[in-house]
């Protein structure tokens, strides 16, 4: 950080402000992990058979 500040002719505090400003102004339109997976696997449909068996009733001891 000191080296970067010196290269830019700024104090360390000014360099930190510049770095934070730069980071917060960057676009956040990057897709997230779920979107990447959906895009990669999108269009896949599964033919699931209809349920023929219903859930059994559960009786818990009191």
Which tens digit of pLDDT belongs to each residue from 29-59? 788 888 888 888 887 788 888 888 888 888 9
Handedness of CA 23, 40, 38, 34 (dihedral sign): negative
**Burial (Cβ within 10 Å: 0-12, 13-18, ≥19) of residue 16:** middle
Q: What is the DSSP string of 13-46?
A: HHHHHHHHHHHHHS------HHHHHHHHHTT---
Task: Give the integer Cα–Cα distance in Å for 22 and 6.
Answer: 18
pLDDT at res. 1: 86
pLDDT at res. 34: 86
Confidence bin at 8 (pLDDT 50/70/90): very high
Note the pTM of the prediction, 2 decimals: 0.43
Percent of the chain scoring above 70 in pLDDT: 100
């Amino acid at each position: 950080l000191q080296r970067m500040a010196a290269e830019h002719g700024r104090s360390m505090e000014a360099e930190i402000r510049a770095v934070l400003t730069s980071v917060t102004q960057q676009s956040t339109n990057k897709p997230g992990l779920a979107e990447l997976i959906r895009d990669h696997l999108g269009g896949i449909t599964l033919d699931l058979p209809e349920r023929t068996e219903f859930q059994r009733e559960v009786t818990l001891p009191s």
